[in-house]
Amino acid sequence: MCNANNSVTALACHGNTLYVGGYFAGNNSLGGAARNRFASVHATLGTVFPVWNTSVDNGYINAFARSGELLLAGGTFYTLNGVSRNFLSAWEVQYEDESTGTDAAAATGADDALLVFPNPTHGPLTVRLADARPVDRIMVVNATGQLVKDLRPGSGALTGIDLTDLASGLHTVIVTQGERTTTRQVVVQH
């Protein structure tokens, strides 16, 4: 799991998304990512979701609740992303990869639904899927939770990705097919 640079005051889990609120702020504040008192984290991988960056401008969050596509937060804050939201706010979750459709076997690598090879790789990576369902999105996230590749290949059970431009280290490949999200970790070695 990722580390925070200050105390955490609220947690809520929805599918594979862990919502985290607290006093953390600034660069490298949560899992190596810059987050201001609020973030979403992949619950099983511990990586900070790269795109979603909501900011509590003052105060902090004490509690979360999720209802459908709405996330609700309550706390001592007065503004959220610069908009007046005294103590309570609700907004639509916009980061679609907070899917509840991730199956546990795929997340642990216990099935062959998703193969990534070679692993480790010097750059070229092949992503092979067991079924022919269209691929909505393939993301590659580095160890600090930053989105470093974002592809939307469409159809096909075999996709090549060039990781040559990425830094050496552990990366997570996230493949979304409709309601199903499958992840694998891959090591880039230069």
Per-residue pLDDT tens listing for the chain (190 residues): 578 899 999 998 887 788 889 888 887 788 878 888 888 887 766 777 765 556 787 788 899 888 877 888 899 988 877 778 889 888 777 554 443 333 333 333 434 577 888 888 888 888 887 776 778 889 999 888 889 999 988 766 677 899 999 998 889 898 888 778 888 888 898 8
- Tell me which DSSP letter residue 106 carries: H
> Taking a C-beta distance cutoff of 8 angstroms, is the pair 59, 76 a contact?
yes
Q: CA torsion sign, 118 to 161 to 141 to 64?
A: negative
Helix (H) or strand (E) holding 105: helix 104-108
CA distance 9 to 7: 6
What does residue 157 show for φ and ψ, rounded to 5 degrees?
A: -90, -5
96 burial (CB, 10 Å; 0-12 / 13-18 / 19+) is exposed
CATH 2.60.40.3080 range(s) for the chain read 104-188
The predicted structure's pLDDT at residue 163? 94
The predicted structure's pLDDT at residue 155? 65
User: Is the pTM above the cut of 0.85?
Assistant: no
Query: From start to end of the chain, where are the E strands?
Result: 8-14, 17-22, 38-42, 61-67, 70-75, 79-80, 83-84, 88-92, 114-117, 124-129, 137-142, 147-151, 158-162, 169-177, 180-188
CATH class of 104-188: mainly beta
SS3 13: strand
